[in-house]
Structure 1
Amino acid sequence: MGALVMALSATTALTAQAGSEQIGEVSTAFRWLGRNDRVVIEAYDDPKVQGVTCYVSRARTGGAKGTVGLAEDRAEASIACRQVAANVSFTGKLPLQEDVFTERMSILFKRLHVVRVVDPKRNTLVYLTYSDKLVDGSPQNSVTAVPVITSTPIPLK
């Protein structure tokens, strides 16, 4: 029982570190024990780009294992990032590519990633979501882009 509580606490702490905020969910399959399988929608504010939020939808496994954080979620996710403030601003210089958010999808070895790629030619921020596993990641991915007005050039490292 103590290991179960520690696993649940670790899962909760990792979710908090990723900076996600769940804003909605829909049930996709009924489970007799524990939560139903569902698709959740989470909002992630880019920590280095003020005024940009990414919305990620992904499958979450329910049942007894899913309720306590021991189930492995599917490797499918979708992303849409948008400018959510009047102006986009930057907290510093950005690398051309950076893993901005990472969150566990299983108790061991599987993670969801959101990567920011800067397209300097078009002054655009491109966000990619995918999952990986210690041995084999998933080729399933989703991409979105946020153009930044030309009067606000993206500062690069």
Structure 2
Amino acid sequence: MKYKVLAAAGALLMLSQNVFAEQIGSVDTVFKVFGPDHKIVVEAFDDPDVKNVTCYISRAKTGGIKGGLGLAEDTADAAISCQQVGPVELSEKIKTGKAQGEVVFQKRTSLVFKKLQVVRFYDAKRNTLAYLAYSDKVVEGSPKNALSAVPIMPWN
């Protein structure tokens, strides 16, 4: 049974959208004698389906020996801020609600089972995009989450 879960998780990871974030900067939060320090990392990514919307994520990154080897599990703490950076055009799929809750970004935060995800919702009544960041695990997720809203404004 465990092997089936591992195989399914691996297949999902391979099929997932490859949106990469650029690291903007980081700050150390805990000094570690061996391995890298614990830190908060700030990254930026562009929505792959909505031109001219950029999101910035800050997230905890575990250091130490396990963190340096990529074996540590990062905490579920994250914050998000998304901005309109130019003229926005929404696809029909988004306008009609067929893309509600679509994953626009994900990053592995443990060796296999845990990841940070960002999903997009469109609020047609207010002409606004909402981006929800949360962490999940194959077995259990975390209620910790962060939200950012981008009102779509005319761009001159």
Q: TM-score surpassing 0.5?
A: yes
Instruction: Report the CA distance between 1:24 and its aligned residue.
Output: 0.6
* Distance in 1, Cα, partners of 2:92 & 2:111: 34
The reply to whether residue 136 of structure 1 matches residue 140 of structure 2 is: yes
Paired-residue identity, % = 52
1:98-113 aligned within 5 A:
98-113=102-117
Counterpart in the other structure of 1:79: 80
Are the counterparts in 1 of residues 107 and 115 from structure 2 also a CA contact under 8 Å? yes
Counterpart in the other structure of 1:89: 89
TM-score by length of 1: 0.81
Q: Secondary structure at the match of 2:66?
A: helix
Q: Secondary structure at the match of 2:122?
A: strand
Instruction: Report the CA distance between 1:69 and its aligned residue.
Output: 1.1
From 109, 122, 128, give the equivalent of 2:126: 122
Are the counterparts in 2 of residues 58 and 76 from structure 1 also a CA contact under 8 Å? yes
How many residues of Structure 1 are paired with residues of Structure 2 in the alignment? Answer: 137
Structure 1, unaligned runs of 5 or more:
1-13, 152-157
Instruction: Report the CA distance between 1:140 and its aligned residue.
Output: 0.4
Instruction: Report the CA distance between 1:17 and its aligned residue.
Output: 3.0
Are the counterparts in 2 of residues 123 and 150 from structure 1 also a CA contact under 8 Å? no
* Distance in 2, Cα, partners of 1:20 & 1:92: 26
Counterpart in the other structure of 2:59: 58
Counterpart in the other structure of 1:41: 42
Q: Secondary structure at the match of 1:108?
A: coil
Are the counterparts in 2 of residues 50 and 91 from structure 1 also a CA contact under 8 Å? no
Offset from partner CA, 1:62-107 (integer Å, 9 cap, x none): 111111211100011000000122x113466321221111111000
Q: Secondary structure at the match of 2:74?
A: coil
Are the counterparts in 2 of residues 22 and 41 from structure 1 also a CA contact under 8 Å? yes
Q: Secondary structure at the match of 2:32?
A: coil
* Distance in 2, Cα, partners of 1:134 & 1:50: 31
RMSD (Å), alpha carbons: 2.1
Are the counterparts in 2 of residues 124 and 145 from structure 1 also a CA contact under 8 Å? yes
* Distance in 2, Cα, partners of 1:96 & 1:106: 27
